[in-house]
Chains A and B, each alone.
Chain A
Amino acid sequence: MPTASAALGAGVHPTVTASRRLLGFLLAIALFVTVERVTRIFAGEYAVRVLAMCGINAMLAVSLNLVNGTTGQFSIGHAGFMAVGAYAGAITSHLLLGSLGHLWPGLSLLVSCAVAIVCAGLAGVAVGVPSLRLRGDYLAIVTLGFGEIIRISIESLAPLGGSQGWPIGAESIPATATLPWIWGGALLTVLVIGNLTYSSYGRALTAIREDEIAAEAAGIPTTRYKVLAFAISAMFTGLAGSLYAHDATGGQHIDPGSFRLDRSVDILVMVIFGGLGSVTGAVLGGIVVAVSLELLREFQGYRLIVYALLMIGLMLLRPQGLLGNRELDLRRFLPGRKAASA
């Protein structure tokens, strides 16, 4: 992706000091808080919820894109990692309810997300190590099986509510993940995975996608790198899961049924919609899927049929996805400055 490297840019942006970066992140959070308030006032609680779904979707899609788009592997079990993150996060904050959760709910959510990231990452390594040695379709089959194993395991665990689900709210899973939290998580995901994609590590991953034998001959330990990509992807999918479990914008409960194969397929659709291999495309794909599913509520029972037709239509008109493998470069729209990727 030659044209894309400039967008998030290795060698384009000079390095930024840590303090300025932190400042930028805090400013972004402040912006997100404003967006939440303004949306709530002018468009109501429902609109805030849709924005939150966009954020969760973007996280899921950007994570999956690292594996399916950049590295050229094929996972259809990412709902499993989302479930691991959701339940690991939920259990952690449930355990912290009496202590940290009472004193400082935000910190409790941070800890829960960290635990979710670690657990999902470990699950990613556990699935990736044996299956990524093999090529092509094997990974798809293994991840498919993994997703189902996770879901069925949770269903049979009574303390987690089994197939009934686990309510979000007081005394169960604290509803702490407001819109700024969710968008903050999405921003972090985009920054980390975006920077990774357009670094020498990402270049190695893309090389694996393009020609595995040539990548080996260029000194890239391909199996190790595939596992690395898979683990990082699982980590951020876990983060999305944890934020989803703490959803304060109207989430009712988490249940194993929300982590079925359809969820994995949904994430895949977002990635393909946006354009395989494009980070900003994945974000866009996540937003398009969330928003169009909401807009299609008018069609009621026919909603999914219309959605499927939309999908087919887009694939016929733009088989490469909305952005192809390019990145959306905002600088392209700035006057007087020629974007490096143009």
Chain B
Amino acid sequence: MSAALSISNLEMHFGGLRAVAGVSFEVPEKSIFGLIGPNGAGKTTVFNCVTGVYAPTRGTITFQGKPIAGVPAWKIADLGIARTFQNIRLFGQMSVIENVLVASHRATRASLFDAISRTLRYVEDDRAMRAKAMELLAFFGLDDNADQVASSLPYGDQRRLEIARALMLDPKVLLLDEPAAGLNSAEARVLEGQIRTLRDRFDLTVLLVEHNMQVVMGVCEEIHVMDRGETIAHGVPSAVQKDPKVLEAYLGAGHDAITAPREAAPEQPAEVLLEVSDLRVAYGGIQAVKGISLEVRRGELVALIGANGAGKTTTLKAISRMLPMKSGVVRFAGKDLAKVEAHELVEMGVAMAPEGRAIFPNLTVRENLEMGAYTVSDRGAIRASMDEAVGLFPRLGERMQQLGGTLSGGEQQMLAIARALMSGPKLLMLDEPSLGIAPVLVDQIFEAIDRIRRKGLTILLVEQNTRRALAAAQRAYVLVTGEVVLSGDAATLASDPRVQGAYLGEGVHLG
């Protein structure tokens, strides 16, 4: 089998940082090839070099016998290498079908003159492209959403739309950057099947960066492992899985799931800190949350779980006043939040680490933390919370002067949590803290969450990783399409088969 893509001695430096330090590998034609490694290994940087976002410092990239290192991104897309992005980059204000159609632009035969004067050629071309785009959307189960604004799609659908857009380029090689991020395990299994189907149906070579090991091991035929910019292993999944260097670098020493030892429930239940009753939220005409009621008592860790599109993030955003609610009541410490604005909420003692982290990329770690303490005026208190944050996440302490944007995904998540803690909140809301993060860092993050809770902080956790969420929480609510279908003690729910049912029956698109 010949190579679809070959990379040799690739190096990419950013200032003094060698993000990729001499990586070589060949991706066999029509294979599904995994590029894995812990956060900060340089995988996405390799992707960015291959797709022309960066011109590599040194080394060659060969595609179909042609060197493509340093070629502009649009030309590489034109040559037949398409990609998706780790942090989803859709054209948010455009409709779903228009997002896909953008990628057909280079393929149109219609000239600018044809387009302006709407010649027959333009109209026919447009019709053909639309038909093709609809076919792709149908493949991903998005055809019913064709005219919807792309930013209103739930997370999982946005990921699928990105793949559809990439396929519109008729690529020979498809680069997927963390396609399983944010998918639950049932959805991830569907994704595995879809990747294989994609390869066969569209005659593709697939290059995959992914943290979800279930997906990587399940779907990849060959795997290249990186750590800190260098190659540490290469081979078939079964061999890579057993490679001690991989285990050490990727999974960390002594990898065990953290299960918080459970204390007995206190005799007297604590007072209710957050009370949500019959909350309804709608985007345009679509009801995302259809009457959710829940309560979080002081000192509790309550998890909100459910498949993609279940309304978890929407619920959090409505509680934190970032989305208007259609009806319902949210009370925090007895106070109705209807008239409270998002920033006032911080002063009241509600802090949030949002999905996708939303750190300030051009501020240093220290400045990010200081921003979190914006409502605190006591310098001593700020310093104390800063020390506490560093104690919780020693990695941040090592990177105080680094810009937030240069941190790896896991470190950014730590920063987001630490920043939320800086305001000295009574209630901490965490939205998908494990999203797109290597398992070893997820462990560290959940350990930290557990420590935060032990200090007496109340936590509302939104998480699609059910196992982790139920292990960390005392109580949980299971959401399906905007409604609470199950709730109760986390340990009981963990062994409840209906929880799995709630996932499998929902949010799964069959290819």
A196 with B102: CB separation less than 8 A: no
- Residues on A with C-beta less than 8 A from B498 are none
A195 with B72: CB separation less than 8 A: no
Distance between B51 CB and nearest chain A CB, rounded to angstroms: 6
Question: With A207-B102, A215-B102, A218-B105 in contact, is A201–B112 under 8 Å at CB?
Answer: yes
Is residue A213 contacting chain B, with contact meaning CB distance below 8 A?
Answer: yes
- Residues on B with C-beta less than 8 A from A5 are 95, 98
Partner of B74 from the list A11, A192, A220 (CB cut-off 8 Å) is A220
Q: Which of B8-16, B78-86, B357-365 contacts A (4 or more CB under 8 A)?
A: B78-86
Partner of A218 from the list B95, B116, B165 (CB cut-off 8 Å) is B165
Is residue A65 contacting chain B, with contact meaning CB distance below 8 A?
Answer: no
- Residues on B with C-beta less than 8 A from A206 are 91, 93-94, 98
B94 with A2: CB separation less than 8 A: yes
Q: Which of B57-65, B118-126, B297-305, B307-315 contacts A (4 or more CB under 8 A)?
A: B118-126
Task: Give CA–CA (A108, B112) in the complex, Å.
Answer: 28
A203 with B95: CB separation less than 8 A: no
B120 with A15: CB separation less than 8 A: yes
B74 with A213: CB separation less than 8 A: no
A219 with B103: CB separation less than 8 A: yes
- Residues on A with C-beta less than 8 A from B104 are 200
Question: With A210-B94, A217-B77, A219-B78 in contact, is A13–B102 under 8 Å at CB?
Answer: no
Is residue B437 contacting chain A, with contact meaning CB distance below 8 A?
Answer: no
Is residue B117 contacting chain A, with contact meaning CB distance below 8 A?
Answer: yes
Is residue A157 contacting chain B, with contact meaning CB distance below 8 A?
Answer: no
Is residue B169 contacting chain A, with contact meaning CB distance below 8 A?
Answer: yes
Distance between A112 CB and nearest chain B CB, rounded to angstroms: 23
Q: Which residue of B lies closest to A222 (CB)?
A: B74
- Residues on A with C-beta less than 8 A from B165 are 218
Distance between B78 CB and nearest chain A CB, rounded to angstroms: 5
Residues of A187-246 whose CB lies within 8 A of B: 192, 195-196, 199-204, 206-207, 210-211, 213-222, 228
Is residue A16 contacting chain B, with contact meaning CB distance below 8 A?
Answer: yes
B110 with A211: CB separation less than 8 A: no
Q: Which residue of A lies closest to B73 (CB)?
A: A216
Is residue A1 contacting chain B, with contact meaning CB distance below 8 A?
Answer: yes
Q: Interface 1/0s, chain A 312-337, versus B by CB < 8 A?
A: 00000000000001000000000000
Task: Give CA–CA (A216, B78) in the complex, Å.
Answer: 10
Is residue B239 contacting chain A, with contact meaning CB distance below 8 A?
Answer: no
Is residue B235 contacting chain A, with contact meaning CB distance below 8 A?
Answer: no
A13 with B118: CB separation less than 8 A: yes
Q: Which residue of B lies closest to A21 (CB)?
A: B117
- Residues on B with C-beta less than 8 A from A216 are 52-53, 72-74, 77
Partner of A195 from the list B74, B101, B118 (CB cut-off 8 Å) is B118
Partner of B92 from the list A11, A203, A210 (CB cut-off 8 Å) is A210
Report the interface size for chain B: residues with CB under 8 A from the other chain: 49
Partner of B89 from the list A10, A16, A211 (CB cut-off 8 Å) is A211
Is residue A301 contacting chain B, with contact meaning CB distance below 8 A?
Answer: no
Q: Interface 1/0s, chain A 4-18, versus B by CB < 8 A?
A: 010000110111100
B77 with A219: CB separation less than 8 A: yes
Distance between A65 CB and nearest chain B CB, rounded to angstroms: 15
B126 with A11: CB separation less than 8 A: yes
Partner of A217 from the list B51, B105, B123 (CB cut-off 8 Å) is B51
Question: With A206-B91, A213-B89, A216-B52 in contact, is A199–B77 under 8 Å at CB?
Answer: no
B119 with A15: CB separation less than 8 A: yes
Distance between B315 CB and nearest chain A CB, rounded to angstroms: 27
Is residue B467 contacting chain A, with contact meaning CB distance below 8 A?
Answer: no
- Residues on B with C-beta less than 8 A from A214 are 85, 89-91
Task: Give CA–CA (A13, B51) in the complex, Å.
Answer: 37
Task: Give CA–CA (A1, B130) in the complex, Å.
Answer: 16
Task: Give CA–CA (A221, B165) in the complex, Å.
Answer: 16
Is residue B127 contacting chain A, with contact meaning CB distance below 8 A?
Answer: yes
Task: Give CA–CA (A197, B344) in the complex, Å.
Answer: 42
- Residues on B with C-beta less than 8 A from A1 are 93-94
A200 with B110: CB separation less than 8 A: yes
- Residues on B with C-beta less than 8 A from A211 are 89-92
Task: Give CA–CA (A172, B382) in the complex, Å.
Answer: 73
Q: Which residue of A lies closest to B95 (CB)?
A: A2
Task: Give CA–CA (A31, B90) in the complex, Å.
Answer: 44
B83 with A195: CB separation less than 8 A: no
Task: Give CA–CA (A199, B119) in the complex, Å.
Answer: 11
Task: Give CA–CA (A222, B72) in the complex, Å.
Answer: 10
Question: With A15-B118, A195-B118, A216-B72 in contact, is A325–B102 under 8 Å at CB?
Answer: no
B98 with A203: CB separation less than 8 A: yes
A210 with B115: CB separation less than 8 A: no
B108 with A14: CB separation less than 8 A: no
Task: Give CA–CA (A1, B10) in the complex, Å.
Answer: 40
Distance between A179 CB and nearest chain B CB, rounded to angstroms: 25
Residues of B354-382 whose CB lies within 8 A of A: none
A199 with B74: CB separation less than 8 A: no
Is residue B415 contacting chain A, with contact meaning CB distance below 8 A?
Answer: no
Task: Give CA–CA (A16, B51) in the complex, Å.
Answer: 41
Partner of B102 from the list A2, A16, A218 (CB cut-off 8 Å) is A218
- Residues on B with C-beta less than 8 A from A217 are 51, 53, 73-74, 77, 82-83, 85, 89, 166
- Residues on A with C-beta less than 8 A from B92 are 210-211
Q: Which residue of A lies closest to B171 (CB)?
A: A219
Task: Give CA–CA (A189, B280) in the complex, Å.
Answer: 46
Q: Which residue of B lies closest to A216 (CB)?
A: B73
Task: Give CA–CA (A14, B102) in the complex, Å.
Answer: 21
Distance between A87 CB and nearest chain B CB, rounded to angstroms: 27
Distance between B53 CB and nearest chain A CB, rounded to angstroms: 6
- Residues on B with C-beta less than 8 A from A16 are 118
- Residues on B with C-beta less than 8 A from A201 are 105, 112, 115
Is residue B149 contacting chain A, with contact meaning CB distance below 8 A?
Answer: yes
A200 with B108: CB separation less than 8 A: yes
A14 with B74: CB separation less than 8 A: no
Task: Give CA–CA (A149, B75) in the complex, Å.
Answer: 36
15 A-B pairs within 8 Å (CB atoms) are namely A1-B94, A2-B95, A10-B123, A11-B127, A195-B116, A200-B105, A201-B115, A204-B102, A213-B89, A214-B89, A214-B90, A217-B82, A218-B77, A218-B102, A222-B74
Given contacts A195-B118, A207-B91, 13 further A-B contacts (CB under 8 A): A2-B95, A2-B98, A2-B148, A13-B118, A195-B116, A200-B110, A203-B101, A207-B94, A210-B93, A213-B85, A216-B73, A217-B85, A221-B74
- The 5 closest A-B CB pairs, nearest first, are A2-B95, A199-B115, A210-B91, A216-B73, A214-B89
